[in-house]
Each structure stands twice: as structure tokens, then as C-alpha cells.
Amino acid sequence: MKFRFVLQLATSLIALSLASGRVAFANDVDDATAEDEYDAGAVPPEPATDDVVFKATSITAPFLEQFTPETADRWHPSETKKIVDGIEDEELLNYRGRWKIEEATVFPAIVYDKGLVVKTPAAHHAISALFPEPIDPADKGLVVQYEVKLQNGLECGGAYMKLLTHDAAFEPTKFSDKSPYTITHSPTVFGPDKCGMTNKVHFIFRHKNPITGEFEEKHLNAPPAAKISKTSTVYTLIVRPDNSFEILINNESSKKGSLLTDFTPAVNPPKEIDDPEDKKPEDWVDVAKIADPDAKKPDDWDEDAPMQIVDEDAVMPEDWLEEEPLTIPDPESVKPEDWDDDEDGDWVAPTVDNPKCAEVSGCGPWTKPMKANPDYKGKWRAPMIDNPAYKGPWAPRRIPNPKFFEDLHPAKFNKIGAIGFELWTMQDGILFDNIYIGHSEADAKALLEETWAVKSKLEGEQEKKEAPKSEDEPKGASIMQRVMDVAEDYRYRIVKIAQQARNDPIGAFSADPSAAGIGIFFILWGFYSIASIASMYIRGKPAPAAAAAPEKKDAAKKTDAPSADDKPAAGAPSAEAVPKVEKTGGATKRAAAKKE
């Protein structure tokens, strides 16, 4: 009973933490601010002589961000408010996640090297910065590069950037997922995203149909997997004027292709489409084969004949031992010393396979084996023949696509005016640094060699020093860690579903049905457990086990011969009046009595 009470209490607390605690934490209202630690009057401590000290690059670009004091103030967190009943609620921020410009706290490599850091777990974050001048990728190509450092790992969340179409009226404090970045040919999303089994590097751009005016997101087919590491990872996207693109991770090519052929849906629609008005005629026959209507079952076809029959020609092998049993009592088994035939019954040795049977064809009664029935034919079916009415597969007629257009230069993106990070993540500590947006592949690579190449080597050395030795790990720790990882992964996914379900319940549940099902199970089990516990205490169940304990203790002291202390209580029946109880399991009872 106690175990069941503890189990129910524990599961109810788990379910409630999933159902309300975590979600409530994610809904707390907090000021979303971008803080920095730069102080003009402060004197930074002197670094050690062997430390690598940050030095701003001399490389120039249309937009280059290393989060120095001169550029840090151009970043503005979103101050958009939540919409409640169609009205903007001044009390509720849409993005409560905080940002901070600071040095890395995990594997710090370069002294005074700061980045933009996500500071709030389980929250929506949004921050953006205007470019000094709009960037025009048309005929120049586009190179986007930045570092991501997942200081606390990444179980569920994004670390991608958005490039926003130039708009003179754009206000960074009003940046949101609804910001107007869908203008013609605007690149929208690039960077890693992971949650559950999803792990990929996004490359999505929006494209406008010049005939219909409709916008479509073009998603990269088979995107590369993101590198999930607590050390810095540099992601590079190159879009060239010839419509080719390349994605590099840590300066190694991970994906190449063309904007015209490697995205879904395709940039250019088909020239012809199926006629939506064309319908298949009712008399159209598209069945190629039919059963021969003229075929008849042969007279000698016996559908009832069995598949197997007894082999009447079989003869018992000469070495078959009919008198030998298949099993015999174990000759090595010995009767236990404390076995009492009166109380435990007659002792019977356990049985083992008869060793004599292993040396011959078999033992015991012999029966003739079964064999395949030569007369077996099974159920008769008419043979299939070509259908004389067959007309072939039907397809609607093709007509010119009224929405057809041909854009042979999708790489001519419109001007880009700002960069933004609009994320939902369960982990804090995501650090962004060394952002390059421009046109020069050579400059982007030079920046990578100045920054990431140096940083990565130092971080790798620290990571090796802090890596636990496998032989020092306790036995079974890896299995337990896997179990904990899976549990943590599902917790993150359940909370994410709860967040998304506020706006789109059906979409949230269909996006991750397994996590949704587990979440619902724990919630229902939690309420059931609480109801059971409450019902138990309301009824006020007696505890018979506690009352019976002294009696059991006294009974354990007694032996077959009554002692002087075994005096009957007043009014108690005599020994002769007590009915005799059948004794079973004497050896077990004696062992228990000895323990008492």
C-alpha cells in the first residue's frame, strides 16, 4: 500500500509538472532585454601571458558583427505584445526571452571575445539589427556566415537567422514572426534547427509568382544535419549569381545544388498541368487482366485433398528406443536437508533430458511421419487472361498552366535591410558570433581563419581535458544516461507542443503525435493518481497490517511444545477447542521462524 501511494504521488507530480509547471514557466511574463557588459569606465583584468586575446578584424563587409562596443547597441529585442481576443495586451510580451552580450562560459577560448547569448530557457526570443545600408545580392551573389556555440547543448530549439527584406518603415522593436520579410526573392531562414528526431540546417527562401502575386516558401531538399556541440560551429551559405548554392559547416562542404532544381516546391511551375475539369468516363476500363469466363474446373480436381498425408512407407529406425522416456529424474539432484515429508510432501527430484536419447534417432512411442500429398491441388481458380475491354490507364488531359512563369535567375534576391533571430528554444546559453553578410567568399573564409579556426582549436583542447574517462564511469551509467536523455527529450517536446497548441492545437499535435500521446497519458495518470489518493484518505481506510503485527510477532516465538508463558487468556478457547489448521510449506515456515 505504501509503495502504491508513493508511486501514485510521484507520477502525479511528474504529470502536473509536464502539464502546468513547465508550461506556466514558459508563459511567465519577463522583460526581454538585450544586456551587455561593456563599461567605458571599467578596466578589464590583465589576461595571462599565454592567453589568446580578442582583436577586432580588419576585414570589411556590408554587415560584419563581432559584438564590440562600437556595434553592440544596434541590436534591439522585440517588444511586440501578445494578441488576446484580437487586442494587443500591453501586459504580455510576445517574446519574453532575454539576450545578453557576454563572453562564453563553456570552453572560453579567446579573452574578451563576446557574442550574443540566449539567456532564457523554454522561451520565445526575438532580436534584430538594421544594416548600415541595404545589401543588394543581385548579380553579386550572397555570402552568409556566422558562428553558433551551443553551450548547454540543444535538445529542442532553433539557432537559425532570418534575413529581412529592406523596408524603410521596419522597426526592430516590432520584429516578429509576422514581419514583412516575404518580399520578392528574399532569403528568409538559414541555420540549425533540432527537436526530437528532427536535426537539420535550414535554407528557406521566399519567392513571388509574378503572375498571381502569391508567395511561396522554397525549402531545401535533403538539408544537411546540424552539428550539435558545445564548441563553436561555423555555418556558411554561398549563393552564386549562376543560381548555384553551397552550404559549409566548419569550412567543409555539406551540401551543393541549384536554386532551380533542389528546392520544394520548385521555383518554376510546370508548363502544363492536368485539366481539373477532365473526368474519367464511366465506361473506361483500366483493369488489364480478368479471370477467364470460359474456364471450367477439371473433374478430377479435388479441392478437399489435404496438403500432407501419413507416410505409409516409413519404417521405425533400428536404434529408436521405444521403452526409454524422453526425460528422467536428475541423478545429481539431492533432497534438501530441511525437507519434511510430513509438511512438505514427498520429495521428487527434478527431471532432465534423457542422455540416451541424444545418442540415437529418438525415444518414446514412434509414429509414422507426415509427407506432402502428391494429389493436393488446393482451391481451383480460373486462369487470368487479357481483358478484351481494357483501354489502358486513364489520365486527365494536359492543358497549359495558367500560373506558369519562368524565372531563370532566382538568385537575384531583392535588397536585404536587416538581420534577425526569432527563435523558440528549450536551452539557454546559445551564443552567436562573427556574423558576416556580404558578397565575398574569400573575405568570409579569411574571417573564419582569423576567428573560428583559432577558437575551435583552443575549445577542442579544453573539451578533451574535461572529457570523462570511459573507465571511470560506473557500470550501467551509459544506459541510464540514455534513458535520461530520452526522458528529457520527450519533456522538451511535450512542452513545445503545449506552447504551440495555444494557437494551433491540431497542428501542434499532428507535428509530433508520439510526444503528444505520452503527454496526455501522464496528465491523465496524474489526475487519476491524485483522485485515488484523495479517495483513500476521504474514506479513511483502516490499517489492519499494523494491528496484526504484534500477533504475528508472538506467533513467530511459539514452538510446537507449549511453554510456561503460553497461558490462555481469560475467556480464550482451550487448545482442544481450536480447529487444527493444515500445515504446508514447512521448510519455508521454519526458515522464516529462524529469521524472526
DSSP codes, 59-90: ---SEEE---TTTGGGEEE---EEEETTEEEE
User: Could you give the CA distance from residue 497 to residue 500 in angstroms, rounded to a whole number?
Assistant: 5
Is the CB of residue 194 less than 8 Å from the CB of residue 120?
no
User: Could you give the CA distance from residue 204 to residue 162 in angstroms, rounded to a whole number?
Assistant: 10
CB proximity list for 246: less than 8 A, separation 6 or greater: 236, 237, 238, 240, 253, 255, 256
Q: Tell me the three cell numbers of residue 522.
A: 501522464
pLDDT in the model for residue 115: 96
Q: 350 by DSSP, 3-state: which? A: coil
Across the range 265-289, mean pLDDT stands at 94
DSSP 47: P
Q: 218 by DSSP, 3-state: which? A: strand
Q: Where are the alpha helices (DSSP H) in 372-512?
A: 441-450, 452-466, 477-501, 505-511
pLDDT in the model for residue 181: 47
Of all residues in the chain, what percent carry a pLDDT higher than 70? 71
CB proximity list for 8: less than 8 A, separation 6 or greater: 529, 530, 532, 533
pLDDT in the model for residue 469: 56
pLDDT in the model for residue 596: 46
Higher-confidence residue: 320 or 586?
A: 320
**Strand partners of residue 100:** 35, 117
Q: Tell me the three cell numbers of residue 219.
A: 525549402
Across the range 494-498, mean pLDDT stands at 70
Q: Which of 218, 212, 207 is nearest to 265 (CA)?
A: 218
pLDDT tens-digit map of 4-46: 444 444 444 444 444 433 333 333 333 444 444 444 344 456 6
CB proximity list for 470: less than 8 A, separation 6 or greater: none
pTM, full prediction: 0.62
Q: Tell me the three cell numbers of residue 572.
A: 480464550
Kind and range of the H or E element at 249?
strand 244-249
pLDDT tens-digit map of 458-486: 999 999 988 765 545 454 545 665 566 56
Distances (CA, A) of 154 to 162, 189, 427, 488: 19, 18, 6, 11
